[in-house]
Structure 1
Amino acid sequence: MASPLEYLKEERLKARLNRRDPEAFLEAHAWLAPKLYRHALLRLREKEAAEDVVQTAFLNAWEYLGDPEIKLTYVKAFFYRIVNNLIVDAIRGAVRERRAEEPVETLPVLTDSASRAVEEQFDLEQVLDELGEAKPFERDILMWRYLDGLSIKEISFLTEKTTNHIAVLIHRTLKALREKRTSA
């Protein structure tokens, strides 16, 4: 969960983006590009494809935000939605290799407490393998929440589901993963 200071920073950034401030867009890029890259890399498992997706996402966002009628509600969810759409396009467009050139262990270390808690319980490689067996929607929800650090509200906005639905889905999916681990 974001601290009040982080929340305030994001709200100010959102207001500046809604005013079409180019400096705010550069701040958003510096803040979100590493997170979006990590997300794309985990999904695509190809370094170059992940880089292309993130670059294209920021270009698309810049063009989209050029419309004065557009007002952002959630900054992170907006960028993650663009990246997810591009990931789907990339997967549909070509057959991808199963392993990335860069091993999963060398990905940037996450700092938020929720991610640390998940990492302490599970080995990241094993979790990714187990998540691969989960339904795609459930896998995406858990990745957004614990690997990408999105709030339940942001995931709700991104998926167009209620916050209650997302919270229950996270709880049930984690419970199923725990039960699977203990029975194995």
Structure 2
Amino acid sequence: MTTATDDFDYERALQACASGDRQALQDIYRQESRHLLGVALRIVRQRQQAEDVVHDAFMKIWTQAASFDPQRGAGRGWIYSVVRHQALNAVRSQGREVSVDEETAEALDAEHSIAAHAEVADAFELNMSLGRLNDCLARLEPARRNCILYAYVDGCSHGEIAERTRTPLGTVKAWIRRGMGSLKECMA
């Protein structure tokens, strides 16, 4: 059974679009628009937005048809990927935009003000703690301090630290364990 899709030459239509043939774009639209709308609708979940996605995708198909490379894939697949990417971008940008009424906006502003005040207090406390931590780290022997920093700041494994410091693995483990003990005592 042969369908209209089997007879349609997507690659030739895209080449024609790249050459400025508006009829070729209309032919692609007539051939695939309802299917592409279905793809967009499954991703964005709102008909109006799906229609906007398909419109924007066809604009992109028109302006970027020259970038289609038949060596990298089928024309129909390229068209569907343009629509899919356009729909995914719409969903991503939708997550950043939230419309709220005025009362909700005022409540959110008040909530953000309270949170910002708490963050400033937390930042002050954090700065004070880090100052104490720096003092405690300074009291450690440099080799032990470096092992702790490699482990907890750089995220190195004990084996990686042993390689970096050219120290036996057991020694690295002992230095970290003892150094952490010293830090706990100092911070208390």
Q: Shorter-chain TM-score category? A: 0.3 to 0.5
Higher gyration radius (CA): 2
TM-score of the superposition, structure 2-length normalised?
A: 0.42
Instruction: Considering fraction of residues, name the structure with more helix.
Output: 2
